[in-house]
Structure 1
Amino acid sequence: MRIQEMKKTFGLIAALLLISLAQVNAQNTVPGTQKSLDKVVAVIGSSIILQSEIDMQYAQYLSQGNPDNADVRCEILQGLISQKILGQQAIIDSIAVTEDDIDNEIDRRLRSSIARAGGQERLEEFLGRSLIQYKDEIRPDIKEMLIANKMQGKITENVAVTPLEVRRYFEAIPKDSLPFFNTEVEVGEIVIHPEMNDLEKEAFRDRAEALRLRIKGGEDFATLARLYSQDPGSAREGGELGFVDRTSLVKEFAAVAFKLKPGELSQVVETEFGFHVIQLIERRGEQVNVRHILIKTEAVPASLVRAKAQIDSIYNNVLNKKIVFGTAASLYSDNNDTKYNGGMMLNAENVQSRTTFIPSDKLDPAVFLTVDTMKVGTISQPSLFTAPDGKTGYRILYLKSKTGPHQANLEQDYPKIKEVAFEDKTNRTISEWFEKRRKITYIKIDSEFQTCSEISTWTTAQN
């Protein structure tokens, strides 16, 4: 019975072990309550969980616009208990993480928080401390979270499902509970973006250089950025990006930005986005705040002609079976999101599973209009299109499969059913592991949380 009660543990761990960046001081309680001395709310083996840990995560939950909900506190505590148990087992199994792993995770989270807050200064104002100080404060929690995640990965690393297990899982589903699937397709693409030579790029470089000279001559950088920069995200801010680290910038841009002195103006810099003029505002350690003006390169007629000739050649070779579509996509396509998958598009709503089955109503409308009239196994003629990032190019589409509306069955939906069966087996594996550790781990819970249904499963005989 306990295993069934604990089955949702796995899902909660996946969400709650990813500790959110705390947005309040550890000694403060949730907004609206009075300050109180920190207390121990749980003892897990040799570890403790403090009230402030729960308060911090609950404050993050509230800051995202969620309503007050006492059950969330219970879920937070359950996630922390899980993390402590995983961490203690990780020590026994000699599982560790590197300092680089911790630094990268902290930087990733801070980049996200800086973006949400509208800049580093606003985030620091909200936190009431510098990011350098804050990094030191959250470092132990991030380390513990990474170790727990790694331990969880070890527990489930050998989980697999056989075809027989998939069949048994499917047959155990009540017939009236089987899901209904709308029309789904598998679509591949080969994309060719026009490449310009140095002579064709010269006009765009000259525009950037002219702006650089105007700034050098005394005109205001921010004003020119608002008027002429083609980076919509920063143009309205006078070209200012806010504090970012190297990993947030393309390498050519970062190489120049981190060499500039405050107030210094760069030469024209070329990246995959076009030509930039950069000025350093301030540097703080391994972060810089810069402003820039971007002049995008746009395909000229001659470059489009060359791209059309290239994709026509690929089209003919695939059509005449001189090369298979997937190989051609891997070798020639300019879309890095699909080329390493044999050109096949992934379901954007289910990225983790990497499924190539896409509901037809979730396809890009332009793609849907093309493949809707195609036969399975055929390719479309090359057509001109504009990518979401604004780049123009030519594209060939391949309709690998098309499945009409139907109720789930093994013949048509084996990959989906296998995925769900695998997830179910993973859930059971982690739940059984926790059940064993629960029986041999001293767990004491404060009376305030004893009424939580999630927490009652964790009590042990020692209590």
Structure 2
Amino acid sequence: MLLKKIQLKTIDYKFGLTICFLLFFNSFISAQEIIPDVVAEKPVEVPSGQRQKIDGIIATVGDYIVLDSDIDKGYLEITSQGGSTKDITRCQMLGKLLEDKLYAHQAIQDSIIVSDAEVRGMMEERLNYMMQQVGDINKVVAYYKKNSVEEFKTYFADILKEQKLASEMQKKIIDAVEITPEEVRNFFKKIPKDELPTFGAEMEVAQIVVEPKVSKEDEQKVIDRLNGIRKDVLDGSSFATKAVLYSQDPGSSSSGGFYKMTRKTPFVKEFKDVAFSLAEGEISEPFKTNFGYHIIMVDKIKGQEVELRHILIAPTVSEDALKEAKERIINIRKKIESKEISFADAARTESDEKETRANGGTLVNPNTQDTRFELTKMDPTLYSQVSNLKDAEISQPLLNTDEKGKKTYKLITVTNRIEEHTADYAKDYTKIKELALKEKQINAIAKWFDEKIKDTYIKIIGEYRDCTFTNNWLKK
């Protein structure tokens, strides 16, 4: 029964997160928001059997209000993403709206700050994507039923700020939750044997990567180009505009190169060293990381946090360099096949990928931080490269192009296969720890809501007072 309770809680929690991402966070996820050309001409759709009502305030949480139309917009957003709303009641939708209002309200009480610069960066990113989808800002304005571009931008900036406040507050709660090995052990012991989870088939994978060498001449061309951009900005040009036009960083170019970071933010050391050496308004000289060459301009320094913009340009790899890299990796494969050297030792001595080199080329799953990859959840590209490999078989040289356009050659091998099995504490500790941590996070969030609801002004109006909520919004 314990595991069933965990699963029920997780389902309830996942419903909240699903609505959160579909309804609110789709503004951040560029690959998902699509604005139909004609959606603005259609009336708001609500589940069958429910009447359209005159809009008005239906709830208040602290300084925030919820309109009846906010629920209808929630349904519209989910259906525009291809989701189904037939099993989502208006009470459930209101409950999720109330959660996010409370998150945002408490974020302000806890002095969590979302800067105007950050909101502008988010706004630029979202608008650029919307424009790519529909080609006309007026269609975006019509979709959101606003009378002008400026009215829409004001409205959308408030939404983005509220979303960011809510997500930062939720992150603060979850990040504070830690779990000890003893708690993990106790969690596992409480699960009845006939209710232990089953984990799917997995494999461990290793790779050797060879990077084509870039000529000094090609590197100097990039440095000269960045110096030219730097000079233009010093002469009055917009750094943000230059980043949109020229930066090859897919994570920031559309938002004018904007990043907000602390020393704990997982950026490469070279980038952080330069970022934290600059004063406000200062622009760095071009510098190199494993991604290419950068220049950074610091917008604002707030204590241990830096708001900055950067431009990344990577040198072009010549055909001769690609040919030389392929010949090198073919020779490495021949040595492994002839037993001159093991795959792991070849990775340690020959691979250009420093993240995996020391570990004999073994890949780490970015989602779980262990070395196992569940087949049903494996990245499709990686799966296609390893699915047909037999034990100890080495792939042919593979030309790989990453999201930044960087080309490398690699060899891949499967080092271990784990069949589908019932959870084992020793073998599956990492996964069991994740389950235990998730339960503890769910309990922490539930406790947080119980405490904050008691201390916050909350009012629900009209027929919505008859709703049955997961949280005690009615303070009964």
The change in CA–CA distance for 1:25 and 1:191 in structure 2 (over 3 A counts) is: same
1:14 and 2:29 matched: no
Aligned to 2:392, which of 349, 360, 374? 374
Q: Quick one: structure 1 residues 144 and 196, their matched pair in 2 at CA, closer, same or farther if it must change by over 3 Å?
A: closer
Determine the structure 1 residue equivalent to 2:275. Answer: none
* Correspondence for 2:425: 410
Residue of 105, 119, 135 corresponding to 2:122: 105
Q: Please, which of 78, 81, 100 is the counterpart of residue 95 of structure 2?
A: 78
Change in Cα spacing, 1:35 to 1:73, as seen in structure 2 (3 Å) is: closer
Per-residue deviation, residues 415-451 of structure 1 (Å, max 9, x unmatched): 1111111111111011111112223334332333234
- Tell me whether 1:69 sits opposite 2:82 in the alignment: no
User: In 1, Cα distance between the equivalents of 2:468 and 2:370?
Assistant: 35
Structure whose CA Rg is larger: 1
1:92 is matched with 109
CA RMSD across the alignment: 4.8
In the alignment of these two chains, the number of paired residues is: 365
Hey, what does 1:290 align to over in structure 2?
Answer: none
- C-alpha contact 1:326 1:342 (8 A) present in aligned 2: yes
* Cα shift at 1:30: 2.3
Deviation at 1:87, TM superposition (A): 2.6
Q: What is the aligned partner in structure 2 of residue 49 from structure 1?
A: 66
Residues 1:116 and 1:13: Cα distance change in structure 2 (over 3 Å): farther
Q: What is the CA distance between 1:392 and its match in structure 2?
A: 7.0
- Which position in structure 2 is the counterpart of 1:359? 374
Q: Which residue pairs with 2:397 in the alignment?
A: 384
1:273-422 alignment to 2 at 5 Å?
300=319, 303-309=322-328, 312=331, 319=341, 325=347, 332-333=352-353, 344-345=362-363, 352-360=367-375, 362=378, 363-370=382-389, 372-374=390-392, 380=394, 383-387=396-400, 393-397=408-412, 399-422=414-437
Residue deviations 1:175-195, cap 9 Å, x none? 222222333112132322545
Describe the shift of the 1:247–1:56 C-alpha distance in structure 2 as closer, same or farther (beyond 3 A).
Answer: farther
The verdict on how the C-alpha distance between 1:184 and 1:430 changes in structure 2, with shifts beyond 3 A counting, is same
The match for 2:442 is 427
Residues 399 and 410, structure 2, Cα contact 8 Å, conserved in 1: no
- 1:165 CA drift (Å): 0.9
Cα distance, 1:155 vs structure 2: 2.1
Find out whether 1:189 has 2:204 as its counterpart: no
Q: 1:248 to 1:404 in 2, by over 3 A?
A: farther
1:107-134 deviation digits (Å, cap 9, x = unpaired) = 3444454455477565455445565542
Report the Cα distance in structure 1 between the residues aligned to 2:360 and 2:245, rounded to whole angstroms: 28
Cα pair distance change 1:40/1:392, threshold 3 Å: closer
Report if aligned partners of 2:450, 2:471 keep a CA contact under 8 Å in 1: no
Q: Which sections of structure 2, spanning at least 5 residues, go unmatched?
A: 28-32, 219-239, 255-315
**Partner of 2:160 in structure 1?**
142
The 1:125/1:298 distance shift into structure 2, 3 A limit, reads farther
| Contact 1:304–1:393 (CA under 8 A) maintained in structure 2 | no
Task: Select between 77-86 and 41-50 the one with higher mean Cα deviation.
Answer: 41-50
How does 1:205-216 map onto structure 2 within 5 Å? Answer: none
The SS at the match of 1:364 is helix
8 A contact 1:29–1:36 mirrored in 2: no
- Are 1:453 and 2:468 matched, yes or no? yes
CA gap of 1:36–1:365, structure 2 versus 1, over 3 A, is closer
Query: For structure 1, which runs of at least 5 residues remain unmatched after alignment?
Result: 201-243, 258-296
Deviations 1:237-276 (A, max 9, x none): xxxxxxx97666652799xx9xxxxxxxxxxxxxxxxxxx
Separation in 2, partners of 1:360, 1:149: 31
